[in-house]
Amino acid sequence: MAFAKKYVGIALVAVSSAWAADRVVGANATLDIEPGARSAALGSATMAVDGDYLGLMSNPYQLANVNYAWASFSHTEYYEDTKYDFASAVVPLGEGQGLGISFSRFGADDIPYIKEGEPLPEGSNYNTLSIADWVFSLTFGRRITDRLELGIGFHGLYREMDQTGWGFRGDAGLRYRLVDELFVSTLLKGWTSSAASWESGEFEYSSPELYLAASYGLPVPYLYGKLNLYWQGAELLHREARDMDYETDESRGKRVWENPLDWLSGGRGGIEFAFDFGLSLRAGLSSFTTFQSVTAGAGLTIAKFVKVDYAFESHPVLSPVHRVSVSISPYLFSHSPRPGTTEATVRTTKVLTEESEETDAYEEMERVPDEPVEKSVQEMPAESAPKVTATESSTPEKEPVQAAPAAPQTSVPAPAPIIETDDEVLE
């Protein structure tokens, strides 16, 4: 029995050493890069932004509100010719649920290199290589109740560098509507852990992390639009630093239960004003620790089936970044929006039509009293006409005087005075 225990222990040690993993910070960090221009202009508070289908990796629960199929594309050029291209497609799966698929590439091409021991080449005859991270993502969102929405996502990564590698991560999130236009959301990033394996046999992972976010919308009818506020907090669980300082690259910041104010300063947020006619203006901070992380941008909705967004991101050390993204809905291109959906409501046209109808009604009411009453009296029957003139007419000098003596003169047998008066009048 002791002999068997000895060999079982040796086998367990061998297996554990073969599958030894290093715990690191930021494994598969490519999955955390913001692809969409709209969320980037709002300080990359992607968890709180609804309707940005390029941010499915951080906001899967927004798929519960998908009404139409959308295809989205974005392109970003970083410093040193590093590029980030992202494409996604979302499809509704009935009422209150939707599916999203995304594919991206982050990398650089035509990098010159010289092998160790080789002389410097003459001119520009350099050997070149490319490095890239290829990401494939599958997300699903579903409405649980009228106030609660659920989203899950699975992301796979293939890394092509001096050695190849594979990565994987699973996320899960919830969004709850407290009151009208006020939402609170949470995201458990890496609930499966964010793991990566390399060609050399090394294996590394990052522990799960929890995030909080909130959004609030305020309609502004006097400006024909809506004001939206977005906030996303820093990490909650990690014992490592939840923020890296831009200038010194030193770990800083505490967890929420250690210093709540310091934790709040590590968050990000943005403000957006969306006009009813399709224009949106945005601004934000990608880190509340410095104002050198200012972001700004704008968006435009064209004919309800095309959305174009632009974002500018500043950095205190590195060069600024420009992002452009486009979203297209094939259904809305050939069909009108279905009644009851957000795309079918246009406040501007409703307000204008209501004002025009009210003004026309007032004009008609003003014109009705101006019409002569005599016309209506003449159209009345002969039996009712004398009654109206006797009670409502205000000219007793002619009609009552002539009608009153006519009755007694006809009853008295003396027609001569009438003839004489007529002759006198004629003379």
Is the confidence at residue 131, as pLDDT, over 60?
A: yes
- Contact in structure between 152 and 137 (CB atoms under 8 Å): no
Structure-block tokens of residue 102? 């995304």
Please, which residues bridge with residue 113 across strands? Answer: 127
Query: Regarding predicted confidence, which is higher, 240 or 311?
Result: 311
pLDDT score, position 377: 41
pLDDT score, position 271: 97
Residue 333 binned pLDDT confidence (cut-offs 50, 70, 90): confident
Residues of 212-234 as b/e, b for ≥16 C-beta within 10 angstroms?
bbbbbbeeeeeeebbebbbbbbb
Number of neighbours of residue 298 by Cβ within 10 angstroms: 18
Residue 405 covered by a domain: no
Residue 248 binned pLDDT confidence (cut-offs 50, 70, 90): very low
**Dist CA 152 CA 67 (whole Å):** 19
pLDDT score, position 177: 96
Question: Average of pLDDT values for 229-251?
Answer: 65
pLDDT score, position 393: 40
Residue 6 covered by a domain: no
Is the confidence at residue 161, as pLDDT, over 70?
A: yes
Is the confidence at residue 216, as pLDDT, over 80?
A: yes
Question: Average of pLDDT values for 246-275?
Answer: 74
Rounded-to-10 torsion of CA 171, 249, 296, 211: 30
Structural domain range at position 216: 22-116+125-335
pLDDT score, position 240: 53
pLDDT score, position 364: 53
Over residues 73-127, the pLDDT tens digits come to: 999 988 878 999 999 999 999 889 999 999 999 999 888 887 777 777 776 777 8
Q: What is the DSSP string of 243-299?
A: EE-TTT--EE---TTT-HHHHHHT-EEEEEEEETTSEEEEEEES-TT-GGGEEEEEE
Look at the chain and report how many structural domains it folds into: 1
Residue 187 covered by a domain: yes
Residue 344 covered by a domain: no
Question: Average of pLDDT values for 42-67?
Answer: 93
Identify the three-state secondary structure at position 153. Answer: strand
pLDDT mean across residues, the chain: 78
- Contact in structure between 160 and 169 (CB atoms under 8 Å): no
Residues of 61-98 as b/e, b for ≥16 C-beta within 10 angstroms?
bbbbbbbbebebbbbbeeeeeeebebbbbbebeeebbb
Query: Regarding predicted confidence, which is higher, 109 or 393?
Result: 109
pLDDT score, position 375: 45
**Dist CA 329 CA 306 (whole Å):** 7
| Burial label, 242 (beta-carbon count in 10 A; 0-12, 13-18, 19+) | buried
**Dist CA 119 CA 126 (whole Å):** 11
Question: Average of pLDDT values for 242-246?
Answer: 47
- Contact in structure between 136 and 167 (CB atoms under 8 Å): no
Q: Of the given ranges (311-320, 321-330, 382-391), which has the lowest mean pLDDT?
A: 382-391
**What's the half-sphere exposure (Cβ side, CA atoms, 13 Å) at 387?**
5
- Contact in structure between 298 and 311 (CB atoms under 8 Å): no
**Dist CA 300 CA 280 (whole Å):** 6
Residue 383 covered by a domain: no
pLDDT score, position 252: 53
Helix (H) or strand (E) holding 131: strand 127-143
**Dist CA 165 CA 163 (whole Å):** 7
pLDDT score, position 348: 41
Question: Average of pLDDT values for 250-258?
Answer: 62
Over residues 270-322, the pLDDT tens digits come to: 999 999 999 999 999 998 888 888 999 999 999 889 999 999 999 878 889 99
CATH of the domain at 76: 2.40.160.40
Q: What is the pTM (predicted TM-score) of this model?
A: 0.72
Q: Of the given ranges (104-113, 243-252, 255-264, 283-292), which has the lowest mean pLDDT?
A: 243-252
Radius of gyration of the chain (CA): 39
Place of tokens 């995030």: 211
pLDDT score, position 312: 95
Helix (H) or strand (E) holding 363: helix 347-370
Q: Residue 340 contacts by C-beta under 8 Å, 6 or more apart in sequence?
A: none
Over residues 342-364, the pLDDT tens digits come to: 767 654 444 444 444 444 554 55
Percent composition of the chain: helix, strand, coil (DSSP 3-state, to 5): 30, 40, 35
**Dist CA 402 CA 88 (whole Å):** 94
Residue 188 covered by a domain: yes
Specify which of 21-25, 237-241, 370-374 reaches the highest per-range mean pLDDT. 21-25
Residue 10 covered by a domain: no
Identify the three-state secondary structure at position 314. Answer: coil
